Structure formats: structure tokens, C-alpha cells
Amino acid sequence: MVRFAKRLDLLDSSDIGDLLRLIARPDIISFAGGLPAPELFPVEELKQAGIAVMEEMGTVACQYSSTEGLPQLRQKLAERMAEKNNIHTSPDQILITSGSQQGLDFAARVFVDKGDVILVESPSYLGAINAFKACEPTFIEVPTDDGGMIMEELDKILATTENVKMIYVIPDFQNPTGRTWSLERRKKFMELINKYEIPVIEDNPYGELRFENEDMPALKSLDTKGLVVYLGTLSKVMVPGFRIGWVCAEDELLSKFNTMKQGADLQTSTLTQLQANKYMDLYDLDAHVAKIREVYKHRRDVMIKAMEEYFPAEAKFTYPDGGLFTWVELPSYINTKEMALQCLEKKVAYVPGGSFFPNGGKNNCFRMNYSCMSDEKIIEGVKALADVIKANLK
């Protein structure tokens, strides 16, 4: 008899996995994914970059490379973080990972033993929650409001809780809520981090996808004690299929992540690193990101306008300044997991909110994504969803 590891029982894959299999049907209008729009992928440019790599350094591209990642790519990422995030770092403080999801997995393995405490926003990113669960932590959810994590609540928790090993946050266009922290909250957060000296995992996959208002400084740029581990990715600004993310941290912390990387997969693909690097040599990534922002902003506007027009007043939703998501809250008596099945009958899908709370919690909310649908499909899907919501109101 095959016996599996008990940690598999901890991973919350069944409900979401079943739903994602259902919404993969081509007849479903899916607001459930968190995917970038494939029609915006720079396929031809990446093709030319790939050809150039194979012609100029084919044997190098097909060989193993260093665990840390290609020096020339890390140099570009360091320069980009300085320009976009005001993070002034060395390429030696960057580790290339196989997507930022791998960075999340490593973070838990570096900091957390069974029973240790991880603080997360309530709600928080499902993929991070599942990555952390394998290390069997105790999750404590920090309350949030429209401005993100509530600092007074964080202070209370840190003052009264033992064995907090790390704090995981997404300050920009958070998944799942789309909320962004103000500068005031960021500064207060870093004051608390410095006071209690707790490592922070700052996940920033959506930071360059700002539609309006001023950019906010990364927490890492405000870090004076080397406590912030910054996770970045090319998935949302180039292509996710390359699986290129990175960890930026102070030397001592990064060395631990490097050890995890060696044990996990030795290195991220040499070929895709070289191809991404060559793309940035040959083409204007900023211009490409500007195009992505323009399209996503338009689709955000279409979705919000449709929700304002068709959703009942009882449905409250966030208005994101960027990113990929809006978050909807319904009256407390509505179970959005059960309602999701009704929506599938109407050929529309979302992600029920319960899975974004690691300790269980609100079942009256859900996440919607606007990046991958046409205007017509967004409006059609919102109308269908509105009909189901109205049918569930008392």
C-alpha cells in the first residue's frame, strides 16, 4: 500500500481545483483566473530574442548555469528595481527563482518550523497560503480595511503573540482584494517591523500595473534593518511561461534562499533567463508594460461600470488602482461557494472568497479578475452574475 506524507492533507487544493477544472470549459465566462492576457504576450519579439540567443550562444543556453541566476539578468533587475521601486541593491543580493511562487515556498522553508506563527493579511493570496501550509505553521490573520492591513491590529498581535517567524504582505494591488497601502501605512508598518524585528515577505507581482495615482514606495525601499525579503516576477510584465521570478534580500538572508534553491532545482532555466535578458536588450519593456496597463485599465473600467450598473446595492466591491482583481462582498447570509455552482449554470465563474482566509472565515465574498475578457464578455458575465446575486438576496 502506498503511503503519502501527512503534509498533503494540509494543502487546500480540492475545492479550487475542482472549480478550475469546471471553468476551463470554453463556454464559461471566467472571472476566476489570475492570468495575464495572452493576446498581449510579445510572442514575435520573444521569438526573435530566442533565435538570437541560440545563434549567439546556443551551447551556453543549453548548459547548466549558476544557482544565483545569470549575472546580466540580475544586473538588469537591480537597475529596474532602483528605477521602479526605489530599491537600491546589488545584483549579488538577487536570486533568480522559478517564478515568485518558488520564492514563497522557500520563504516558509527558511523561516518556519511546525507550529511557528505566520502573520498574513485577512484575506490573503491562496497560493501563498498553500505554499506555507506545507511547513505546518499557525496562521494569524491581521484584520484589514479598504486601506489594507490595519496597523493598530498588527501592533496588538505582535505585542501579545510569541514565536512570530514572518509576516507575508502584498502592499500593491493585493490579491485578492486589489487594495493598495498608503504611504502612511507603509511607514507605520516598517516602524513596527523594526521594533519587533520580524522578517517580512513583500510580494510584488502587480506593482508595475498601476493605472492611476502615484506609485507607492516598496517596503524594501524603506527597510533599514535588512528585514524585508522582496519577491518580484516577470510573469505579469513579460510572460508567465518563462517562470522567472526573483528574491531580493540582504546577504545573510539570501544565502539561506540560495541553499533552498540548490536543493530544489539547482537553477532556473538558463535558456529562458537568456531569452528574457535578450528581449530586454532588443526591445523596450517599459513600452510593453505601458500597453498592458492601458488594456487592463480599460477592462477594469468596463467591469466596474457594469458592476455599478447591474449589481444590487447590497453587493460591495473594491475599486483597484491597478493589478488584476476586484473583491466583492455580499450580505453575510450568502455563501459564495454554493452560489458559484449556480453561476456555472449561467456560464459565469469567479473564485469563492473562503479559500483566501487560512483559518476559514468569510464565505460571503469572492474575487473577480478582469484582465482576460473582452468588453462584451465582461458585460455579459457581470449581468449573469448580477442575476444570480439578486436571486440569493432575502
| pLDDT value at 229 more than 90 | yes
pLDDT digits (tens, 9 = 90+) for 349-389: 999 999 899 998 789 999 999 999 999 999 999 999 999 99
Place of cell 480540492: 14
Q: Confidence band (pLDDT; 50, 70, 90) for 22?
A: low
Q: Tell me the average pLDDT of the chain.
A: 95
Under DSSP, the state recorded for 39 is G
Other C-beta atoms lying within 10 Å of the C-beta of residue 330: 24
pLDDT of residue 18: 60
Q: Which run of H or E residues covers position 48?
A: helix 43-61
Nearest-angstrom CA–CA distance, 368 and 382: 10
How far apart CA 137 and CA 94 sit, in angstroms, is 27
What average pLDDT does the segment 232-256 reach? 98
* Count of all residues that appear for the chain in the document: 394
Read off the pLDDT band of 13 (50, 70, 90). low
Read off the amino acid at residue 393: L
Task: Please give the share of the chain, as a percent, with pLDDT higher than 90.
Answer: 91
Task: Give the bridge partners for 148, in sequence order.
Answer: 145
Average pLDDT over residues 114-142: 96
Q: For residue 229, what are the β-bridge partners?
A: 201
Fill in the DSSP letter of residue 4: -
Query: Do the beta carbons of residue 366 and residue 340 sit within 8 Å?
Result: yes
Range in 20-34, 82-96, 113-127, 311-325 the model is least confident about: 20-34
Exposure of 378 in the CB half-sphere (CA atoms within 13 A): 21
Share of the chain above pLDDT 70, in %: 97
Contact 89, 116 (CB under 8 A): no
pLDDT band for position 6 (cuts 50, 70, 90): confident
Q: Give the model's pLDDT for residue 188.
A: 98
Structural domains of the chain ordered from first start: 6-41+287-392 (3.90.1150.10), 44-282 (3.40.640.10)
34 confidence band (pLDDT: 50, 70, 90): confident
User: 218 and 252 in contact (C-beta within 8 Å)?
Assistant: no
Residue that wins the pLDDT comparison between 299 and 7: 299
State the pLDDT confidence band at 19, using cuts at 50, 70 and 90: low
* Residue 33: per-residue pLDDT: 86
pLDDT for 143 beyond 90? yes
**pLDDT confidence of residue 17:** 62
- Residue 191, pLDDT above cutoff 70: yes
- Burial degree of 287 (CB within 10 A; 0-12, 13-18, 19+): exposed
Task: Judge whether residue 76 has pLDDT over 60.
Answer: yes
Residue type, 185: R
Asked if residues 260 and 233 have their Cβ atoms less than 8 Å apart, the reply is no
Average pLDDT score over residue span 310-320:
98
Query: Given this model, what pLDDT does residue 88 score?
Result: 97
Angle (CA) 142-148-154 rounded to 5° is 30
Instruction: Give the pLDDT of residue 152.
Output: 98
Question: Is residue 117 within 8 Å of residue 140, measured between CB atoms?
Answer: yes
Asked if residue 10 has pLDDT above 90, the reply is no
pLDDT at 282 (0 to 100): 98
pLDDT for the residue 12:
60
Higher-pLDDT residue of 259 and 362 is 259
**What confidence score (pLDDT) does residue 308 get?**
98
User: How confident is residue 174, by pLDDT bands cut at 50, 70 and 90?
Assistant: very high
Closest by CA position to 209, among listed 33, 329, 34, 20: 34
> Which residues touch 222 (CB under 8 Å, ≥6 apart)?
186, 187, 190
Closest CA to 169 of 211, 218, 134, 215: 218
Cα dihedral 47/50/54/58 (nearest 10)? -150
Query: What band does 20 get if pLDDT is binned at 50, 70 and 90?
Result: low
Look at strands 29-30 and 348-349 and give their pairing. Answer: parallel
Q: What are phi and psi of 293, to 5 degrees?
A: -60, -45
Q: How is residue 387 written as a grid cell?
A: 442575476
123 upstream amide cis, omega within 30 of 0? yes
Tens digit of pLDDT for each residue in 36-75? 999 999 999 999 999 999 999 999 999 999 999 999 999 9
More confident residue, 251 or 362: 251
- Over residues 177-186, the pLDDT tens digits come to 999 999 999 9
